């Protein structure tokens, strides 16, 4: 076992795939000689050269389109958004081309591209650098979306994302890059479509992902001390949902709490709640509760920023109220 930070786990996963498959390349702003804004590609330029580590201009729409074109020709590009909020500038390329070209070409083209980068609410990064784009991309046909929450699933998921023939939006949280975990030295991958059962329990199903996984685990210490037994699932796959794992848990606990950092209106939680209501309504003994970020641009002020996202104390209170049913 080797202890790695999350950004190091991503680097190791990318490096393994680039070593095994010469079709894999990386492009984005400062990914080459600078090593990436969060050092995920540090040292790659010297090892793989400028043709496989493409330092691009500040032109997200252009280099994302170039990546999609490279995927159409048989390469396996990884496009880094220096900040996921910047990829709104490439929304047309991602939605109309990455997501749809396989279908609109009658299956003649596959688009094996990974679009990855840091996002989420950081520590006073301001509204434009605190975007949660999962709510923007979830309705685009043809895209897969996954999010990592630990060094283990970060490495395993990035390897699987590169190998799949589907276009994958790969979400990383800016505040999780320095999270540590012991990882196996042998090669491993993590399934893109499977949720992770983080903690088995019988009282309530808590569904979460990304940074909120760790807020839920923090709240769980208090809940367990007070004799609650929550089942925690990291949904990982934001599109499509792993309804088999989620449904099995709902059928066992009969109560559901969804925790997300995404916005409440049109967020992942709203879609997930609708799916549970559609397929597992008869197993519910209480209304589904969804705790989401407030529908406001993220403030620069530290105390105000903290108020816009869900905190462990709110999770504890919600579990206590739901379990009273």
Q: Which residues are catalytic?
A: 60, 129
- As a whole number of angstroms, the distance between CA 153 and CA 168 comes to 15
Angle at the Cα of 100 (from 98 to 103), degrees rounded to 5? 130
Interior angle at CA 263, CA 203 and CA 36, nearest 5: 105
CA distance linking residue 155 with residue 160, whole number of Å: 9
The conformation of residue 295, written as its DSSP 8-state character, comes to S
| Nearest-angstrom CA–CA distance, 243 and 32 | 39
Q: Which helix (H) or strand (E) holds 321?
A: helix 312-322
The continuous run of DSSP H or E covering 4 comes out as strand 2-5
Q: Which residues contact 287 (CB under 8 A, 6 or more apart)?
A: none
The Cα–Cα gap between 253 and 21 comes to: 44
């Amino acid at each position: 076992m080797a202890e790695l930070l999350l950004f190091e786990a991503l680097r190791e996963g990318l490096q393994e795939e680039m070593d095994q498959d010469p079709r894999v390349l990386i492009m984005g702003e400062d990914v080459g000689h600078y090593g990436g804004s969060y050092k995920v590609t540090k040292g790659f330029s010297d090892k793989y050269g400028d043709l496989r580590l493409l330092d691009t201009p500040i032109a997200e729409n252009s280099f994302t389109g170039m990546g999609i074109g490279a995927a159409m020709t048989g390469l396996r590009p990884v496009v880094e958004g220096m900040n996921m909020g910047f990829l709104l500038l490439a929304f047309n390329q991602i939605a109309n081309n990455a997501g749809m070209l396989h279908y609109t070409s009658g299956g003649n083209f596959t688009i094996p591209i990974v679009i990855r980068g840091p996002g989420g609410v950081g520590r006073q990064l301001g509204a434009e650098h605190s975007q949660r784009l999962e709510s923007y991309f979830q309705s685009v046909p043809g895209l897969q979306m996954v999010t990592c929450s630990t060094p283990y699933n970060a490495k395993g998921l990035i390897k699987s994302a590169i190998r799949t023939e589907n276009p994958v939006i790969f979400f990383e949280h800016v505040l999780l890059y320095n999270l540590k975990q012991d990882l196996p030295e042998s090669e491993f991958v993590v399934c893109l479509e499977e949720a992770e059962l983080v903690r088995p329990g019988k009282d309530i199903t808590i569904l979460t992902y990304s940074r909120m996984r760790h807020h839920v685990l923090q709240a769980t210490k208090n809940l367990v001390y007070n004799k609650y037994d929550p089942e925690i699932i990291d949904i990982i796959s934001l599109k499509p949902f792993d309804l088999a794992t989620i449904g099995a848990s709902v059928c066992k606990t009969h109560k559901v709490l969804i925790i997300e950092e995404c916005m409440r209106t049109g967020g992942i939680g709203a879609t997930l709640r609708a799916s549970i209501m559609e397929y597992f309504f008869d197993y519910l003994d209480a209304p589904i509760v969804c705790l989401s970020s407030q529908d406001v641009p993220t403030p620069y002020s530290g105390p105000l920023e903290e108020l816009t996202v869900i905190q462990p104390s709110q999770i504890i209170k919600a579990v206590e109220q739901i379990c009273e049913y």
